Structure 1
């Protein structure tokens, strides 16, 4: 059974952040706020935890298209092949913000993603998730929380999220109401600018 934990974005409580990080380090699953919709994620270094997230999504881990949530652009070189200056300038302009960029993966990708040529990178403009990643010391693997309701694609109320997900995850962070528009997904993996999904991020600004 999960725990619902309140964390304020303006000033994330350090003890609460430490508690969530310790759950992540033990292979736990967390639900957390971003600058778009709520996401479910785990430590990128824990294969068993990633398998649990894949099971929730109903896919095999090696077929899953998860995003890597990073704290800043310095994490990029850990998982992404060297990118050119124009691409870097776009990323610098977009992050932190409501975008996911598909970039060419390198040989450091976790074992489960070795067959993938690309990886989705996200740096949300949200202090809670970025404080968690900073404390954890590496990105988390993440996917958005969908709602089974035909009218609601995403649940925005953390208490309702807790009701629905408490038996599937270890902690639900209440960071206030979430959005219901996902991130804009842009493929930059082969040097071209291709929009895969129009979401909250305004790609014209890039």
Structure 2
């Protein structure tokens, strides 16, 4: 049975954060707020949960997943970052951007792009998400919560997400409204930034 957990968006209750983190550590799948809408999150190494996410979102095996990191120090463990990329990412995180970077050996192969060996990484500007990462002590594997039957212009409330995914995820965090536009995606693998998706983050900073 899915738990619906209401967490204060500005002052997250540590007890509830630890409750959610315990679910993630034990192989659970959670819905949580970011600075660009709600997302699905799980432990970085959990293949079974990855397959569950693919079924929920009706994704093919080549879909690119993202690592949610606390900060640049953690990001640098999982991605190769040159000086230009470091400066640009530092100046624009935390924020609603996903950066495509070359993955290090710390990233499980199933999360890397099968040919390019890249990984998407983001640092969220959301207090609940940051509190979860702090308590977890490592990144989460994540993807935006976009359901196959969902109207692009329709913003789902947490209780609606709970009703739609009851029994399919382990917990839904109600963290209030947190936006609905997906992140801007910036490819940093060529040495220069390339905007590959326009979203919530200002793309002009990379053009």
TM-score, length basis structure 2: 0.91
* Ranges of 4+ aligned residues in structure 1 off by more than 6 Å: none
Mind listing any 5+ residue stretches in structure 1 that lack a counterpart? Answer: none
> Alpha carbons of 1:20 and 1:26: their partners in 2 closer, same or farther (altered >3 Å)?
same
* Aligned 8 A contact 2:64 2:111 in 1: no
Aligned match of 1:26:
26
Deviation digits for residues 114-142 of structure 1 (CA, Å, limit 9, x no counterpart): 54511101111001011111111111111
Q: Distance in 2 between matches of 1:204 and 1:64?
A: 26
Deviation digits for residues 29-75 of structure 1 (CA, Å, limit 9, x no counterpart): 000000111101101022222222223233355x2311111111111
Q: Distance in 2 between matches of 1:133 and 1:154?
A: 28
> Alpha carbons of 1:109 and 1:176: their partners in 2 closer, same or farther (altered >3 Å)?
same
Q: Number of residues paired by the alignment?
A: 204
Q: Distance in 1 between matches of 2:163 and 2:185?
A: 29
SS in 1 for 2:86: helix
Q: Is structure 2 residue 42 aligned with structure 1 residue 52?
A: no
Q: Distance in 2 between matches of 1:55 and 1:148?
A: 10
SS in 1 for 2:34: coil
Aligned match of 1:17:
17
